[in-house]
Structure 1
């Protein structure tokens, strides 16, 4: 749908997003208007998510997925982890504009260790920002963000649905996590960053948790796993 110039909003798949050009690049605005932004993840969650699900989302981006889960599925609870502090106000605005009241947003990262903070490298385009100093282009800011132990979080939340897009961090985090509470996992892989070994480690972690690959829902780098 076209942008509503009177309110500086972009409508996408029945949801509205502030036309903030410091967050939304021209390409991202086009994808939103055409209904193609995060379309693989969006379609997967509509197919697999249920109203009774407790959702843990790692890497919230602009709040697109959490908004869709709340508005279109009406899941029981959503906890969102986003490490990039520059995105937090935008995500909260998106939630407010779309009437999302069941999502808790944490500006923090999950790790498999005891550390309480981690260095997060902010780059000009937020999708390139990550915990990895060596890849993703020029760093514009280094921010110390709170770090929460992944298994402590999983034990507390007991999520049934995991959505993960953390720019390569999935290869080390997910194999260290106790994923036994999950019914569904939807993961965006980053093959150029994690390589064959990282992809194999993720599939092995899902198998240990009793989840199997769902070829009917998976598309390209977005892979889904379900409990049979």
Structure 2
């Protein structure tokens, strides 16, 4: 476990501590964390639907919130958290260290239709960093373009064989989920992004889940956070 700086300023949310880093957590997110409302709908779905014995793939690890919640509040001991942004990895590791989180493996990688590398656009505004170039990119906004690992989605799911999936990847779910082998998954919690993918994109995600044998679970869904379950 990495050393945790003593006396560092923290924010506590649902009993989980996070470094008070204004460069990583903007003021609005800090307020939501303090009020236990950060990722509120996704958190509720995770707490209602996941089990301690689950093996989880998390797509889009962010600040390490969901992986910490799953480990500390659900008691899951086998989480594979994938995060594309290399700048976030030390922050997530710090969160896990200061909360004594066990059983989470962090992968600085993305999933795709083949194994190889992908370009990650590292911007001064970390929230705007992404796998795609923007028309606004220039010397003032773009810090670097980094090569990150891309793993074959189907192979990754078959190797890990998750029983649960937690996915928040800002619209990329439409193209990525059809590539994943969901045969071992009994529960999938997906945050939809209809503002970017439209109704056709939402329909494609539902069709992917239906084809995999997972059905919409209304009690575990709220707003854009949708839960799919398999009757086992």
User: TM-score surpassing 0.5?
Assistant: yes
Aligned position for 2:69 = 68
Number of aligned residues: 222
Aligned position for 1:182 = 185
CA-atom RMSD, angstroms?
A: 1.7
Quick one: distance in 2 between partners of 1:63 and 1:145? 19
The C-alpha deviation readout for 1:101-141, integer Å capped at 9, x for no partner, is 200001010002x2410112234444433223348985443
**Equivalent residues in 2 for 1:32-181 (5 A)?**
32-112=33-113, 114-134=114-134, 139-181=142-184
Aligned position for 1:218 = 221
TM-score (normalizing by structure 1)? 0.92
Change in Cα spacing, 1:174 to 1:160, as seen in structure 2 (3 Å) is same
Q: Is the 8 A contact 2:111 2:153 kept in 1?
A: yes
Q: Note the residue ranges of structure 1 that are not aligned, 5 or more in a row.
A: 1-5
Quick one: distance in 1 between partners of 2:106 and 2:136? 25
Aligned position for 1:3 = none
Q: Note the residue ranges of structure 2 that are not aligned, 5 or more in a row.
A: 1-6
Q: Is the 8 A contact 2:165 2:188 kept in 1?
A: yes
Quick one: distance in 1 between partners of 2:195 and 2:122? 20
Quick one: distance in 1 between partners of 2:149 and 2:52? 30
Q: Is the 8 A contact 1:130 1:167 kept in 2?
A: no
> SS where residue 30 of structure 1 aligns?
helix
Quick one: distance in 2 between partners of 1:214 and 1:52? 20
Quick one: distance in 2 between partners of 1:48 and 1:13? 18
Aligned position for 2:4 = none
